[in-house]
Structure 1
Amino acid sequence: MSQLSKSSFDFLKKLEKNNNREWFKENKPMYDAANEDAKAFLGAVEDTLNTFDQIEKKKLFRIYRDVRFSKDKTPYSTSFRMSLGREGAFRRGGYYIKLEPGGSMIGGGFYNPNPGDIKLIRSHIAADDKPLRKILKSKKFKATFGELMGDQVKSAPKGFSKDHPAIDLLRYKAMYVFKEFSDKEVLAPTFLKEVKNVYKTIQPFFNYMTEILTHDLDGVPLYK
């Protein structure tokens, strides 16, 4: 399945208007078909990514929401959310997809890097921020994603001066980018090709991160 079917989007639209357990139970066959459709699309994305990257795992998130600590008590998600993790110690980060009527997007990066990784990322940036800035300022990258996204510390991370020339980058606790898509684009036969183009655009960022996360500041490999 190279594209999500219109019937799957129609299910999500109906679910948004009828987000309750009674309606969902009555329309479970419609959900089952849409969920299988989403799984097939995720498999197609994985196959596409493996032509220029290496994917270790993929996940289609559950439609059932955990409402225990949420003010929003609606029981079901009205989107299909997916993630694909890059392979092993030599590749970090991952890809993310959200398919939702009126709110679809695809992206990638480092959503929740472990403390050791973010410390090493900051150390490399502090030593030389030019390689990352070159990637972020490239015409294709900016045209596709705009600006780098991610939560940031308010002042300066521990061990770094708030006056450091690269403090704007050092503040990031997570680093990722995304591109939004209209419903028409998502349901078009060319959508998988668009996904491929977007994810190829993010490769320089991932390649840079792979390099700095597998080497110390002297360029000595951290993994054999």
Structure 2
Amino acid sequence: MIQFDKKSLQFLKDLKENNNREWFTEHKKEFTKAQNNAKEVYAAIREKLETHDEIEAFKLFRIYRDVRFSKDKTPFQPHFAGSFSRKGAHLRGGYYLRIRPGESFLAGGFWEPNKEDLLRIRKEFEIDDSEIRAIISDKNFIKYFEGKLEGEELKTAPKGFEKEHPAIDLIRKKGFIAIRKFTDQEVISDNFLEEVEASYKALRPFFDYMSDVLTTNLNGESIL
């Protein structure tokens, strides 16, 4: 059975406490084992995803940090992180998973939509926010994501929108992300992959709705 090994999690804990090149070089063998374990886990998650969604690509992010423009000069990310992209222009949204001691989470949605997509989403909410509210208030969305969408937001209404609009809490947002956090014990449990898959399945109504919005104009006509 494939699962994230407690030794892999311990390696990440040790890396967080010894985030320097000398220590990393001395423990390269442990890193390789942990990375291979992570690759197995992400591959198994992709396999599960592809039973109920179309995945075009997967990216496992490098553990090496780009410190050129950062005040934080620690050279490594003490975590494994990967993203799954849905296939084609008609399937919008993406899946993400980060495994980091004490700070593991999965997420899905629209992190930084381009200005055209953001305006289209806001216009949809302006016209009718009942469908998106029904989705995020569904029992499964509440179970896995506490019934809310995360993301940066403006302090006031975007240009062209009324400050007192009933959907201004949604319209103000600059991103639309659902997040579920995991404890270390949950990450190394034997049902972690099943919990990840169940969470991703709970995102589908949200993804289906947003895909429909972003592939049609305000009249509901396809723009693809």
Q: 2:183 — aligned with what?
A: 182
Q: Distance in 2 between matches of 1:180 and 1:170?
A: 25
Q: Distance in 2 between matches of 1:116 and 1:89?
A: 15
Q: Distance in 1 between matches of 2:166 and 2:192?
A: 40
Letter in 2 for 1:112: E
TM-score, normalised with respect to structure 2: 0.96
Q: 1:214 — aligned with what?
A: 215
1:100-139 counterparts in 2 under 5 A? 100-139=100-139
> 1:143 deviation in Å?
2.4
Deviates more, 1:1-10 or 1:169-178: 1-10
Q: 2:52 — aligned with what?
A: 52
Q: Distance in 1 between matches of 2:95 and 2:2?
A: 17
TM-score, normalised with respect to structure 1: 0.96
Letter in 2 for 1:5: D
The gaps in structure 1 that reach 5 residues or longer are: none
3-state SS of the aligned residue for 1:107? strand
Q: 2:201 — aligned with what?
A: 200
Count, aligned residues = 223
Deviations 1:108-135 (A, max 9, x none): 1101111111111111111111000111
Q: Distance in 1 between matches of 2:217 and 2:80?
A: 38
3-state SS of the aligned residue for 1:179? strand
Deviations 1:174-203 (A, max 9, x none): 000111111111111111111111111111
Letter in 2 for 1:206: F
Letter in 1 for 2:154: V
Letter in 1 for 2:81: R
> 1:141 deviation in Å?
0.9
3-state SS of the aligned residue for 1:72? coil
Q: Distance in 1 between matches of 2:51 and 2:123?
A: 32
3-state SS of the aligned residue for 2:56? strand
Deviations 1:26-85 (A, max 9, x none): 111111111121112111111111111111111111111112222221111111111111
> 1:23 deviation in Å?
0.6
> 1:218 deviation in Å?
1.1
Deviations 1:149-173 (A, max 9, x none): 0001111112212122211110111
Q: 1:145 — aligned with what?
A: 145
3-state SS of the aligned residue for 1:180? strand
3-state SS of the aligned residue for 1:31? helix
Q: 2:159 — aligned with what?
A: 158
Letter in 2 for 1:28: K
Q: Distance in 2 between matches of 1:162 and 1:180?
A: 32
The RMSD of aligned alpha carbons is 1.2
